[in-house]
């Protein structure tokens, strides 16, 4: 059941539901008979246009698939789920307006959405004012823990720090180019990484930091600066927090400059299978990405998920890390609602702590008191078919809302069920109010 601005999206999800039902060999049951009563409304807050549509449209489709799967099982609490789809159009203030609309006008019980941190921080004061609930599925900079958000993507200690360690320990990188899109996630992440690299003995002069606007397309001078960083013969590596369609121009310029992964390896934090599906990857083999899931993960549950996705969305569609985060978050929310016996936000939040769901790499995700998950850390190497060879994988790592590598954050902890606080100062024994900094 879907309420959406696009008639085409509704028709697509109905076709997807029929394909999914066929592939999972469920007994035929008319969808209208699967659940009864007033629908439970789920807001889907992802950009379907603008610079972030390249990444976010797939997450909208993922949620539609998960909702239809759940409806085929009988809904939640015996009630059908209804997706309410809006398009904040890669416009950060519009995210806040659409979030208010989903809660106050549409009456949504929960929202799944956002990609960039600036969009999440735009939404944050709205959902805290209205006591809404957001599941945020993308890796981010940390330095935040709101009682109204469950962060199902990676914190820096589950992506950025391990990827940097891989460069230092496995590839012998001696100089670092930190390239990012100009907004809060890249700036905060790179601030953490600069501090971390210097603690590892990398000189400040050997760290090149550059930010570009969303949709940036002319990368020639920046790539030339990265090449120049290694003019003394020392090994250079790029850590990329470039977001959206700007990645297309960046990787094309690398290829045009004849730079291979052997010359200057790139590890990306926002490039996955979906972004690579729009690129000629023949010249990108060997470059890396750090995530907590890849489509190529060797696990039976992942094979089932990929098959269901292709039946729903089309054989050529790929899966990626934020899709897994939505899969985990959605299933945890369903379990919490069933446990609480209600969709009321405070009761669902209390039921979320300690929820476990199988992840798609063969392990188990657990929701922690700081509203973050346990997640494995994977390093993947780009193949010429746009998929990744997984070359490194850890056990599940607990997400840390507050980094140990910034002095002002090292003294902070988050414990909502225990302390009722997401920003507790362990030195002063006080709970500090989080301030938006986007």
Give pLDDT tens digits for 352-393: 999 999 999 999 999 999 999 999 999 999 998 999 999 999
The Cα 224–Cα 48 span in angstroms is 34
Among 223, 281, 275, which Cα is nearest to 250's? 223
Phi/psi at 359 (5° precision): -85, 180
Q: Both tokens of residue 109?
A: 């019980």
pLDDT at position 29:
34
Query: Is the pLDDT reported for residue 31 higher than 80?
Result: no
Q: Is the dihedral of CA 195, 196, 201, 207 positive or negative?
A: negative
Per-residue pLDDT of 202-217, as tens digits, reads: 999 999 999 999 999 9
The Cα 343–Cα 152 span in angstroms is 19
Phi/psi at 364 (5° precision): -135, 135
Q: Both tokens of residue 262?
A: 């052997």
Q: Where does 300-419 have alpha helices with state H?
A: 300-313, 321-340, 345-352, 407-410, 416-419
DSSP code of residue 62 = H
User: Got the DSSP string for 31-55?
Assistant: GGGT--SSPEEEEEE--SSSTTHHH
CATH code of 157-296+380-398, in short, is: 3.40.50.2300
Query: Is the pLDDT reported for residue 25 higher than 80?
Result: no
pLDDT at position 277:
84
pLDDT at position 274:
86
Q: Both tokens of residue 80?
A: 């059908």
The Cα 316–Cα 154 span in angstroms is 27
Per-residue pLDDT of 178-207, as tens digits, reads: 999 999 999 999 999 999 999 999 999 999
The pLDDT of 99-127, averaged and rounded, is 97
Query: Is the pLDDT reported for residue 438 higher than 80?
Result: no
The Cα 150–Cα 419 span in angstroms is 17
192 SS3 class: helix
Neighbour order of strands in the sheet with 412-415: 412-415, 421-425, 430-431
10 Å CB burial of residue 167 (0-12, 13-18, 19+) is buried
Per-residue pLDDT of 294-340, as tens digits, reads: 999 999 999 999 999 999 999 999 999 999 999 999 999 999 999 99
Query: Is the pLDDT reported for residue 17 higher than 80?
Result: no
Question: Which residues, in sequence order, are CB contacts of 377 under 8 Å at separation 6+?
Answer: 154, 158, 159, 162, 163, 290, 292, 392, 393, 394, 397
Question: Which residues, in sequence order, are CB contacts of 151 under 8 Å at separation 6+?
Answer: 136, 140, 144, 145, 371, 372, 373, 399, 401
The Cα 87–Cα 53 span in angstroms is 10
Do the domains 157-296+380-398 and 2-154+298-374 match in fold?
A: yes
Question: What architecture is domain 2-154+298-374?
Answer: 3-Layer(aba) Sandwich (3.40)
Which of the four pLDDT bands, split at 50, 70 and 90, describes residue 16?
very low
Which of the four pLDDT bands, split at 50, 70 and 90, describes residue 4?
low
pLDDT at position 434:
54
The pLDDT of 398-403, averaged and rounded, is 98
Note whether 255 and 284 are within 8 A (CB).
yes
Is the pTM higher than 0.85? The answer reads yes
| Every domain of the chain and the residues it spans | 2-154+298-374, 157-296+380-398
pLDDT at position 185:
93
Neighbour order of strands in the sheet with 134-136: 2-4, 81-86, 40-45, 110-113, 134-136, 149-151
Phi/psi at 253 (5° precision): -70, -40
Note whether 134 and 123 are within 8 A (CB).
yes
- How far apart are the two ends of the chain, measured CA to CA in Å? 35
The Cα 348–Cα 302 span in angstroms is 27
List the helix and strand counts (H, then E) for the chain. 14, 20
Ranges 266-280, 295-309, 401-415: which has the least confidence:
266-280
The Cα 297–Cα 196 span in angstroms is 29
Which of the four pLDDT bands, split at 50, 70 and 90, describes residue 7?
very low
Nearest-Å Rg of the Cα atoms of the chain is: 21
Distances (CA, A) of 130 to 107, 117, 123, 336: 11, 20, 11, 20
Distances (CA, A) of 318 to 17, 308, 348, 359, 378: 18, 11, 32, 17, 18
Question: Which residues, in sequence order, are CB contacts of 313 under 8 Å at separation 6+?
Answer: 16, 61, 65
């Amino acid at each position: 059941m879907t309420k959406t601005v696009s008639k085409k999206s509704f028709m697509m999800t109905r076709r997807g539901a029929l394909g999914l039902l066929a592939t999972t060999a469920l007994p035929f049951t008319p969808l209208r008979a699967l659940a009864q009563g007033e629908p439970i409304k789920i807001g889907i807050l992802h950009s379907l246009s603008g610079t972030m549509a390249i990444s976010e449209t797939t997450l909208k489709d993922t949620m539609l698939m998960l909702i239809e799967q759940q409806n085929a099982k009988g809904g939640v609490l015996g009630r059908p789920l209804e997706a309410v789809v809006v398009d904040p159009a890669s416009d950060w203030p519009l995210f806040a307006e659409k979030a208010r609309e989903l809660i106050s006008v549409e009456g949504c019980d929960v929202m799944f959405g956002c990609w960039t941190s600036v969009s999440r921080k735009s939404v944050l004061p709205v959902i805290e004012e209205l006591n809404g609930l957001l599941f945020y599925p993308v890796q981010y900079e940390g330095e935040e823990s709101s009682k109204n958000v469950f962060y199902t993507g990676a914190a820096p200690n589950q992506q950025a720090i391990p990827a940097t360690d891989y460069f230092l320990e496995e590839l012998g990188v001696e100089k670092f180019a930190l390239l990012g899109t100009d907004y809060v996630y890249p700036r905060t992440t790179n601030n953490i990484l600069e501090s971390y690299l210097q603690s590892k003995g990398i000189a400040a002069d050997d760290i090149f930091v550059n930010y570009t606007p969303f949709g940036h397309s002319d990368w020639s001078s920046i790539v030339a600066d990265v090449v120049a960083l290694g003019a003394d013969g020392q090994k250079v590596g790029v850590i990329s927090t470039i977001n959206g369609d700007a990645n297309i121009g960046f990787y094309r310029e690398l290829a045009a400059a004849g730079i291979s992964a052997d010359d200057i390896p790139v590890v990306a934090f926002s490039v996955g299978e979906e972004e690579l599906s729009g690129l000629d990857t023949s010249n990108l083999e060997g470059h890396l990405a750090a995530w907590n899931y890849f489509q190529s993960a060797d696990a039976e549950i992942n094979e089932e998920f990929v098959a269901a996705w292709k039946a729903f969305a089309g054989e050529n569609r790929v899966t990626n890390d934020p899709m897994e985060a939505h899969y985990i978050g959605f299933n945890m929310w369903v379990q919490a609602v069933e446990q609480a016996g209600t969709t009321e936000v405070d009761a669902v939040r209390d039921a979320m702590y300690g929820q476990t769901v199988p992840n798609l790499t063969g392990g188990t995700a657990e929701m922690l008191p700081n509203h973050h998950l346990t997640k494995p850390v994977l390093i993947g190497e780009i193949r010429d078919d746009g998929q990744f060879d997984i070359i490194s994988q850890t056990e599940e790592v607990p997400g840390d809302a507050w980094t140990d590598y910034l002095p002002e954050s090292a003294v902070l902890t988050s414990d909502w069920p225990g302390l009722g606080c997401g920003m507790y100062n362990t030195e002063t024994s006080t709970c500090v109010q989080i301030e938006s900094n986007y």
